[in-house]
Structure 1
Amino acid sequence: MSVRSIARESIGWSIALSVLMILVGLFALIAPLAAGVAVTTVIGWLLLLSGATHVWFAWHVRSAGAVVWEALVALAYFFGGIYLLLHPLAGLVSLTLILSAYLLVKGIVELVGGFGLRGMPGGGWMLLDGVFSIVVALMIWAHLPSSAAWVPGTLVGIAILFSGFSRLLLSLAARRVVTALP
């Protein structure tokens, strides 16, 4: 198989993946609660996997203190994962609260950075980003727990949708380049 045919096949798969990502992103925007619950479920399973990894580490460390530490960390991961899987809506509220806190801290950092760059090109944009992040964080927090029904799913949907579009445009550009090759 030639390099050119491998590139064409890869680009075809990349375009297909892009379209799938766009569809998943649109679904998440149409059904943000379902998307949020799905995200919470994935995080729950990842926590269980992390707990299993710490159990594995506990079997391979040499000191008693390390075994106890790894076992305690594994229990924390297992507890968090099981809780999220059994109570996805409560986990969704917690995830929304964490997102709100993240945006608040990010906004404060952007404001501090923007004031430090005042008078320099781009400094105003950093200030605007900080103010916008703080306002969004406060809006999400003020509407908890009802904002949990749409915030995580909407944010994930927007991220997947934009990733799908950017991947599609990149894949189409790559296809033009491969097609133009002799």
Structure 2
Amino acid sequence: MTAFPTSSSLLGEAVRRELGRIRRTWIWFLILGIGTIALGLLIIATPWLGSLAAVWMISLLLVASGILQFVGAFSTKGWGGFFLSVLAGVLYVALGILIVDRPITALAVLTIVIALSLIIGGLLRIILAASERFYGWGWMVLNGAISLLLGVLIWQQLPASAFWVIGLFLGIEMLFNGLFWVMLALGLKSLPTPESP
């Protein structure tokens, strides 16, 4: 009786083949990871620069989205949502220009949004975990308490925190993202060489 390969063995074989293909390019993942770590550390060292860069990037994305809304609206004039699409495009472009014109105000608003998100999210996690008491609920309470504490600390530091919060968060995210790429590269390098058929 012939045994048919199972879907899990086919998937495992496909993953092994794919890993074998990208194993040779592990050095590029390593370079990407080291570069991202270096950039993350630079942003952590100068968080105000990262904060301003993030705000300008948001403004550029808003302007680009607005232009795409215009293009989409005028390429489909017969569509019933034409005026709504044009209005959305105007709002995106206006908001993007406003952010470029007043980056400090935009930083303050975004920092307030982050602080409120952390406070509300932390409170909701604490309330949910304390009321449901599911397995491991204490960890969720701790997570919520840390989020709540971070939100309150950011709120209390306003307006000064507007200059470092976004940049610090961005730098930390880039640092961990870079660490992921480095670990992936080292993992790929340590894979055994695929056997020749």
Cα distance change on mapping 1:36 and 1:70 into 2, 3 Å = same
- More displaced, 22-31 or 137-146? 137-146
Equivalent residue of 2:28, what SS?
Answer: helix
Cα distance change on mapping 1:86 and 1:125 into 2, 3 Å = same
Percent identity over paired residues = 27
Question: Residue 62 of structure 2 contacts residue 92 of structure 2 at CA under 8 Å; is this kept in 1?
Answer: yes
Correspondence 1:181 to 2:194: yes
Correspondence 1:164 to 2:185: no
Q: In the alignment, which of 46, 60, 82 is matched to residue 61 of structure 2? A: 46
Residue ranges of structure 1 left out of the alignment (5+ in a row): none
Larger radius of gyration between Structure 1 and Structure 2: 2
Equivalent residue of 1:57, what SS?
Answer: helix
Amino acid at match of 1:67: F
Whole-Å separation in 1 of the counterparts to 2:157 and 2:174: 25
The CA deviation at 1:57 is 2.2
Cross-structure match for 1:113: 128
Cross-structure match for 1:16: 31
* TM-score, normalised by the number of residues in structure 2: 0.82
Give the aligned length: 177
The CA deviation at 1:6 is 5.4
Cross-structure match for 1:125: 139
Amino acid at match of 2:105: A
Cα distance change on mapping 1:4 and 1:115 into 2, 3 Å = closer
Equivalent residue of 1:131, what SS?
Answer: helix
The CA deviation at 1:174 is 1.0
Alpha-carbon displacement from aligned partner over 1:20-76 (angstroms, at most 9, x marks no partner): 100010001100000000000110000011111211221115245x12111111111
The CA deviation at 1:5 is 8.7
Whole-Å separation in 2 of the counterparts to 1:152 and 1:135: 17
The CA deviation at 1:13 is 1.2
Greater helix percent: which structure?
1
Cross-structure match for 1:57: 72
Whole-Å separation in 2 of the counterparts to 1:157 and 1:73: 31
* TM-score, normalised by the number of residues in structure 1: 0.89
The CA deviation at 1:93 is 1.1
Residue ranges of structure 2 left out of the alignment (5+ in a row): 1-17
Correspondence 1:146 to 2:160: yes
- More displaced, 6-15 or 129-138? 6-15
Whole-Å separation in 2 of the counterparts to 1:154 and 1:4: 34
Question: Residue 29 of structure 2 contacts residue 184 of structure 2 at CA under 8 Å; is this kept in 1?
Answer: no
Q: Aligned-pair RMSD on alpha carbons?
A: 1.9
Correspondence 1:30 to 2:45: yes
Question: Residue 55 of structure 2 contacts residue 99 of structure 2 at CA under 8 Å; is this kept in 1?
Answer: yes
The CA deviation at 1:180 is 3.9
Whole-Å separation in 2 of the counterparts to 1:140 and 1:121: 31
Which segments of structure 1 move beyond 3 Å, counting only runs of 4 or more? 3-6, 179-182
Cα distance change on mapping 1:61 and 1:132 into 2, 3 Å = farther
Alpha-carbon displacement from aligned partner over 1:156-180 (angstroms, at most 9, x marks no partner): 1001001101220121011110x54
Equivalent residue of 1:181, what SS?
Answer: coil
